[in-house]
Amino acid sequence: MATKVPAAALDRADQPPARRRTSTRTLAVLGALLLLLTAIALSLAIGSRSLSLSTVVHALFDDDGSTASSVIWDVRVPRTLAGIAAGAALGVAGALIQALTRNPLADPGLLGINAGAAAGVVLSITALGLTSMWASVWFAMAGAVVAGLLVYSLASGGRGGATPERLALGGAVIAAVFTGIGQTLMLLDAQALDQLRFWSVGSLARADSETLTTITPFVAVGLLLALSLVRPLNALALGDDTARALGAHLDRTRFLGLLAVTLLCGAATAAVGPLVFVGLAVPHMARMIAGADQRWTLPLSMLLAPALLLYADVLGRVVVRPDELDAGVVTAVIGAPVFIALVRHRRVVAG
């Protein structure tokens, strides 16, 4: 007796592989968006101060000047939006660096951008006594730009231009230099060390409306620039010779990619500190879900990274309540074993 096959299964079997992949990737993006929306809701509803769900909803739609409204609008909303902006920036920056260097273990710290941004913030506090978010962002951007230019200059010298190997080696050298500069400045100024020790771990706790106003333009330009590079990045993944044959401009792609990373990492580092594992682990997750196509990897990283950062921040608010655990500590504790599991039990898909 013949077995009757469901019509839905026949429809799926008749679909071309490319169409099935597109459907899977679309579902993955929708799932990542749902994860992010859930993280946003939890970030607004849960904190070190206990508020009922009805109070939170009322405060969101009616700012009546009460203490609950102040907690929601002055603390949780800016903190959540900063987490979205910084997370998206770090996730996309990580995916970009892994694509530019063709190194699946690369992260925003590999090219020295984070170290340059951190050194800029330390310099603004120790040498000039500037502690405002406006000053932190601009000095972080200046440090990130200097680091990026130095890395590109080192990598592009000689024959062959800025190859992935030269970018990685130049970034390692510049990261070591700027890390040493930042640590030396902090050790020479005890007051600055006290101010910076919480920021250096990575936290969303100090985010406010000024933070958002200052970093949003840099993050927006960086994200748009990154998304404009998806096609040449896909060609770059095939190797330099193949990419040239396909018409990709390698030096321009690497320069613009490095510029996007500089904008994204500089803004995120100034706002929330040098967070770890977000830019390293999230692009791996995105590639495992959607493959190595940057048209899907970058948008997925843009959604998954802020979701991860917000979940880490919410967890940090409740595990030691009424105190808080910095998001950077939580991402390190969670990210390290998760990343090890990804590397051990899944095939690493190079970007």
* Residue among 329, 335, 265 at smallest CA distance from 119: 265
Measured distance CA(42)–CA(51) in Å, rounded: 12
* 283 has a pLDDT exceeding 50: yes
pLDDT at 13: 44
| Structural domain harbouring 201 | 67-345
pLDDT exceeds 70 at position 10: no
Torsion sign over Cα 64, 66, 67, 68:
negative
**Pairs from 48-56 (Cβ < 8 Å, separation ≥ 24):** 48/317, 48/318, 48/321, 48/322, 48/323, 48/324, 49/322
Residues 126-152 have a mean pLDDT of: 81
Task: Tokens for 70, please give them.
Answer: 């102040």
For residue 72, the 8-state DSSP code is I
Residue 46 lies in a domain: no
Neighbours of 68 (CB within 10 A): 17
Contact 108, 97 (CB under 8 A): yes
Would you mind telling me the total number of residues written for the chain in this entry? 351
Q: Averaged over 167-196, what is the pLDDT?
A: 79
87 in any annotated domain? yes
Residue range 90-110: mean pLDDT, rounded: 82
Question: Is 102 contained in some domain?
Answer: yes
The answer as to whether 327 is a domain residue is yes
**35 lies in a domain?**
no
Cα–Cα dist 22/290, whole Å: 9
For residue 4, being part of any structural domain is answered with: no
Give the whole-angstrom CA distance, residue 111 versus residue 101: 9
Share of the chain above pLDDT 70, in %: 85
What's the total number of domains in the chain? 1
pLDDT band at 332 (very low <50, low <70, confident <90, very high): confident
CA 252 to chain centre: 23
pTM for this entry: 0.83
Range of weakest confidence among 25-29, 50-54, 97-101: 50-54
Q: Is the pLDDT of residue 27 over 80?
A: yes
**Is residue 255 within 8 Å of 149, Cβ to Cβ?**
no
Find out whether 283 and 297 touch, Cβ atoms under 8 Å.
yes
CATH number of domain containing 301? 1.10.3470.10
At residue 228, the pLDDT reads: 92
* Confidence at residue 287, expressed as pLDDT on a 0 to 100 scale: 87
Tokens matching residue 151 = 């890395």
Residue 107 inside a domain? The answer is yes
Pick the closest to residue 263 from 196, 228, 215 (CA basis): 215
